Structure 1
Amino acid sequence: MNRLWERLRGSLWPLPVLAVVLAIGLGVGLPALDQTLGQPGGEHPLTFVFGGGPTVARDVLAAIAGSLISVTGLTFSFTVVALQLSSSQHSPRLLQTFVTDRVVQSTLAALVGTFVYALTVLRTVRTDQSEGDAFVPRLSVTVGFVLTVLSVIGLVLFLGHLARSLRVESMLRDVSEEAQATFDRELPHDERGADDAPAFGLPEGEPSIVPAASSGFVVDVDGPRVAQAAEDAGATVLLASRIGDSVVAGTPLAHVWPAPAGARADVDAVQRALEQGVRLGFERTPQRDVAYSLRKSVDITVRALSPGSNDPTTAVHGLSHISALLGELVTRPLRPTVLRDGSGTVRFVRPQWDAPELVRLGVEEPLQFAGGQPAVLRRLAALLRELAFRAPRGSLDDELVALLVRVGELARDTTGIERAETERWDRALHDALAGRWPAEPC
C-alpha cells in the first residue's frame, strides 16, 4: 500500500484524472438537479443563475471547453520547453521535482476538469428543434462559468509559481526541503548517539550470495518482511547495497548466513523474500534515499562551475545548501538498520551512508572543478569549517583536515589567494574541530 501511495504522489496524472472523474459526476448530477428545480416557463428558483436561452448556453459551454483545452496544451508546452532548458543548465533530475509539485498538479487538474465538465453539461442542453422540450441547465452553466474564472485565476498563479520555480535559488530551496523531509522520515533524531547504539555482529563462516534478478536502483526495502523470512529460516541477511545504490542483475544483492540444517532450502526461501521485499527502480527517488537530494545539489553546483556556465555565484549558493544538508546529516544517527527477532538475534542488516562518505559526495566534485575560482574556494573552506563545528567531536577530523589541505593547495596554485589566508582557514578549521568559533572584529 505504501509503495502504491508513493507512486501516486510521485506522478503527474493522479490528481488530473481524479478531477476528470469528479467533473463527469458533477456534469451529470447538476443538470439532473436543474431538471428537478425547473419551473413552468423556464423560471428558476435560484437567483443570479444563467439567464440565456439554449443557443447562448451552448455557445458559452463550447467557448469554455475550446478555450480551456487550447490554453492547457499551450501552457504546458511552453512549460516543458522552459523546464528542459532549465534542466540542461542545472540538472535533469530537477524535472522529478516539477512532476511532484502540487501547484502544477492542481493547475492541470483545474484546467482539464473544467474542460470535461463543460463538455458533459453541453450534451444536456436541448434547443427548440431538439426532441422534446427546450432545456437549459441554468445552474450547471453558472457553475461552469465560476469554474472557468477559478481556472483562469489558477493559471495566473501557476505562471507566477513557474517563474519563481525556474530560478536556481528556488530549485535549491525545493531540493533542501525535499531532503529535510527525507531526513525526518529515515534519520529521526534520537537521544542515543551512534556510539551508544547496540553493537551487532554477523555470524561466522562464509555466507551465501543472493544475486539480483534484475538491474536498477534500490528505491525501497521491506525490512520486516525480509527479517521475518530470515527468522523463519534461521538465517541472517546482510543487504549488499544501500537505498539509492545501483544494482546489476547477476551481482550480489545480499549475503545470507543460513542455518546449519537445510541450508539450501533456507537460502531459497530468503531469496524469494528478497525479490519481493527489495524494490528496484529505473531512477533514484527521494522518498527513502538520504543522499539523493545532496546529489542534486552537487549536480547544480558542478554545472555552475562548468566552462559553459561559468557561474561562480550559483556555485557559492549551491555550496551553502550543501553545507546545510551535510551539517544536518552529520548530526543524525547514521548507522545501519538492524532488525532482530524476539530473542535478540540479528536477522536483517541494511547498510547506511556514513558521515565521511557523505562529506566526500558533497565536496569532492565541486573541489575538482573549483580551480581558478577564489569565491568558490573560500566558500569550500567555510563549508569545511561549518561541518567541523557541527559534527560530533572527533568524528570527521581527519577527513576535513585532508580536504582543507587540498582546498588550500588549489587556491595557491590556481588563484591569487595568499598563503596567509589559507593558513587562517587552517586555524579556523582546527578551532571549529575543538568546538571554538572565535569572534572576529568587524
Structure 2
Amino acid sequence: MRRRTSRPSRVRDAVTGALWPLPAAAVVLAVVLGGALPLLDEALQASGEEPLAYVFEGGPSAARGILSTIAGSVISVTTLLFSLTIVTLQLASSQYSPRLLQTFVRDRIVQVCLGVLLGTFVYALVVLRSVRSAGDSDGGSAFVPRLSVTAGFVLALASVAALVTFLAHQTRQLRVETMMGDVSTEATATITRLGTQLASDDSPDEPLSDVPASAWPVCARRSGFLVRTAEEPLVAELSRRGAVLRLDRRPGDSVVAGTPLAWAWVDDDGVAPLPVEELATALERYVELSVERSAAADPSYGLRKLVDIAARALSPGINDPTTAVHALSHVSALMAQLSLRDTWHRRVSGDDGVPRLLLPSWDHAALLDLSVTQVRSYGRQDTTVVERLFALLAEVGWQARTEPQRQAVRTQCAALTAQSLEDVPAGRTAEDVRRMADAVERALTGRWEPLRT
C-alpha cells in the first residue's frame, strides 16, 4: 500500500499544529463582516423600509459608546486569556514535559475562544468607523448601522461565553490526568492509522533486509527530526532508475546534515544507478524533516511523552510517584496496542512489485525498552513505581503474540529484578521481588496472578 505525503497535508499539519491560524481567520472574517453589514444597513435604511425588528435603536453617540465599550473590554479579556495560556504552557513545560506544548497549541477550544474574542474586538473597531453624526466632516446626514451594532452586542455575549468556556477548559487542562489522557488519545490515533497503512504488508513481523556491500550512502542536506516520507513520488523516482533505497533513520530520529540519511543500491547490474546528488535532492524533497518530533508516523512519540511525565514526576524537585504510576498505566495501555506487531517497518513496492523503498521504524523490543528503562532508573527506590513496572511487564507479557515479544518482556523483567534485588525497595524484601518476577513469567505463559505482595 502506498501513501503519499503531499504538500497540502504538510500545510494542514502546520496549520493544525499552530495557535494562530484559527484566530487569524476569525480576524479576517470580522473585517469582512464589519465592512459588509454597515453597507447592508445603509441599503435597508435608504429604501425607507424597516424589515428588521429588535435591533439597536439608539443614536450615533450611543452606538459609539457601545462599540467602544465592547472593543475596550474584549481586548482586556483577550490579554488576560493570552497571559493564562502562557502560564499554562510554562507550567506544562517545566513540571511535566516540554513536548506537551504541542497538545496545548493544537487545542481547538483555546483556538476558538481566542478567535471569538479577537474577532469581536476587530469587528467593533471596523463598525465604529461607519457610525456618523450629523454635521461630520463630510457634511452628510447621521448614520447608525443598527444591524451591525446589534451583531456587535451578540458577539459581546459570545465573548462572555468564550471567557467562561476558556476558564473552565483550562482548569481541566491543567490536571495531569487530562494531559496524559490527551497524549494517550493522540497516540492511539497514530497507532490505528499506522496499523491500517501496514495491514497489506506481506511480512509485517520480519526485519528489513540488510544493506548490501555494494550500497552507497546518501547524505542529508538539512538537519532535523525525521517526521515522515512522501512514499509515492520517491518510489516512482527509484523505479525509473531501477534502484532500491533504505532509510537509515526511524521516524522521530535526529538527522544531521552531512551524515548518511539513506543507503541506495541497484537491483539490476545493467541499469545505470541514480546519481548520488539526484538521490540527495529527492530525499530533500520527499523526506520531511522538522525542528521537533511529530506523531505523524512515529509510534513511539506518545510513549516518549508519557515517560517524560513519569520521569519528571520522579525528580527530587517534584517528587510525585503517584503521577509516575498513573503515567505507567497509560504506557501499559499503549504497549498493549503496539503488541499487535513485532515491527512497524514499511516496505513500499513499485508498479513492478519490487520493494523499492525500505523505511525502518520501531520494533516491539525498542518500544518496551523506551517504556521501562528510564522510569526504572529514576524510580528504583520507590516501592509503588517498582511494583507498577512489574505489573506493566506482566500486562504486556499477557498480551504478547510472538516469541520475540515474550523475549523482550523477559529481558526487561530480568533487568528490573536484578536492579531491585541489588537495591530492594523500602518496605519490601528480596522474596517479594522474586514473587513479582515470577508473576511476570507466569503471565507470559498464560497464567495470570495478581502482583500484590
Could you state the TM-score of these two structures normalised by the residue count of structure 2? 0.91
**Kept after mapping to 1: 8 A contact 2:63/2:149:** yes
What SS class does the counterpart of residue 324 from structure 1 fall into?
helix
Q: How does 1:262-273 map to 2 (within 5 A)?
A: 263=272, 265-273=274-282
**Kept after mapping to 1: 8 A contact 2:345/2:359:** yes
Q: Compute the displacement of 1:196 (Å).
A: 6.5
Q: How many residues align?
A: 440
Q: Deviations over 1:273-316 (max 9, x none)?
A: 11110111111112222211110100000000111111110010
User: What is the RMSD of the two structures over their aligned residues, measured on CA atoms?
Assistant: 2.3
Counterpart Cα distance in 2 of 1:353 and 1:198: 12
Distance change in 2, residues 1:182/1:40 (3 Å): closer
**Kept after mapping to 1: 8 A contact 2:243/2:274:** no
Counterpart Cα distance in 2 of 1:203 and 1:393: 26
Q: Compute the displacement of 1:68 (Å).
A: 0.9
1:421 to 425, 432, 437: 432
Q: Compute the displacement of 1:40 (Å).
A: 8.3
Q: How does 1:403-422 map to 2 (within 5 A)?
A: 403-412=412-421, 413-415=423-425, 416-422=427-433
| Structure 2 equivalent of residue 431 of structure 1 | 442
Q: Compute the displacement of 1:35 (Å).
A: 1.1
| Structure 1 equivalent of residue 156 of structure 2 | 148
**Kept after mapping to 2: 8 A contact 1:188/1:332:** no
| Structure 2 equivalent of residue 91 of structure 1 | 97
1:378 aligns with 2:387: yes
1:21 to 21, 28, 32: 28
| Structure 2 equivalent of residue 108 of structure 1 | 114
| Structure 2 equivalent of residue 11 of structure 1 | 18
Structure 2: tracts of 5 or more residues without a match: 1-7
Distance change in 2, residues 1:194/1:438 (3 Å): farther
Q: Compute the displacement of 1:410 (Å).
A: 3.5
Counterpart Cα distance in 2 of 1:57 and 1:435: 75
Name the aligned partner's letter for residue 33 of structure 1. L
What SS class does the counterpart of residue 188 from structure 1 fall into?
helix
Q: Deviations over 1:111-131 (max 9, x none)?
A: 111111111111110112323
| Structure 2 equivalent of residue 391 of structure 1 | 400
1:161 to 169, 176, 181: 169
| Structure 2 equivalent of residue 225 of structure 1 | 233
Could you state the TM-score of these two structures normalised by the residue count of structure 1? 0.94
| Structure 1 range deviating more: 71-80 or 370-379 | 71-80
| Structure 1 range deviating more: 74-83 or 254-263 | 254-263
| Structure 2 equivalent of residue 179 of structure 1 | 187
Aligned-pair identity in percent equals 45
Q: How does 1:2-401 map to 2 (within 5 A)?
A: 2-38=9-45, 44-130=50-136, 131-188=139-196, 201=209, 204-258=212-266, 260-261=269-270, 263=272, 265-332=274-341, 334-401=343-410
Counterpart Cα distance in 2 of 1:249 and 1:84: 31
| Structure 1 equivalent of residue 4 of structure 2 | none
Q: Compute the displacement of 1:189 (Å).
A: 8.3
Name the aligned partner's letter for residue 370 of structure 1. G
Counterpart Cα distance in 1 of 2:97 and 2:303: 12
Counterpart Cα distance in 2 of 1:203 and 1:321: 36
Q: Deviations over 1:127-177 (max 9, x none)?
A: 123230101111110111011101111111111100111111111011101
**Kept after mapping to 1: 8 A contact 2:67/2:128:** yes
**Kept after mapping to 2: 8 A contact 1:340/1:347:** yes
Name the aligned partner's letter for residue 138 of structure 1. R
**Kept after mapping to 2: 8 A contact 1:226/1:270:** no
| Structure 1 equivalent of residue 3 of structure 2 | none
Q: Compute the displacement of 1:200 (Å).
A: 6.9
Name the aligned partner's letter for residue 310 of structure 2. T
Q: Compute the displacement of 1:192 (Å).
A: 7.4
**Kept after mapping to 1: 8 A contact 2:387/2:451:** no
Name the aligned partner's letter for residue 185 of structure 2. E
